[in-house]
Amino acid sequence: MLLLAGPVSASVGFSEGEILAGGCGGCHGHTGMSVAPSLPSIAGFDRRYLARVLREFQAGVRFSTVMGRLMEGYSTREIAQLAGYFAEQPWGSATVAADAASVGQGRRIHETKCEECHEQAGRYQDRDMPRLAGQQPEYLRIQMVLRRDGTEGMQQPSRMREALQTLSDADILALSQFLASQD
Query: All domains of the chain, ordered by start, with CATH?
Result: 9-88 (1.10.760.10), 100-180 (1.10.760.10)
pLDDT at 2 over 50: no
pLDDT band at 119 (very low <50, low <70, confident <90, very high): very high
Say what the pLDDT of residue 9 is: 47
Q: How many CB atoms lie within 10 A of CB 4?
A: 13
End-to-end CA distance of the chain: 45
State pLDDT tens for residues 18-59: 999 999 999 999 999 998 999 999 999 999 999 999 999 999
Say what the pLDDT of residue 63 is: 83
pLDDT at 16 over 70: yes
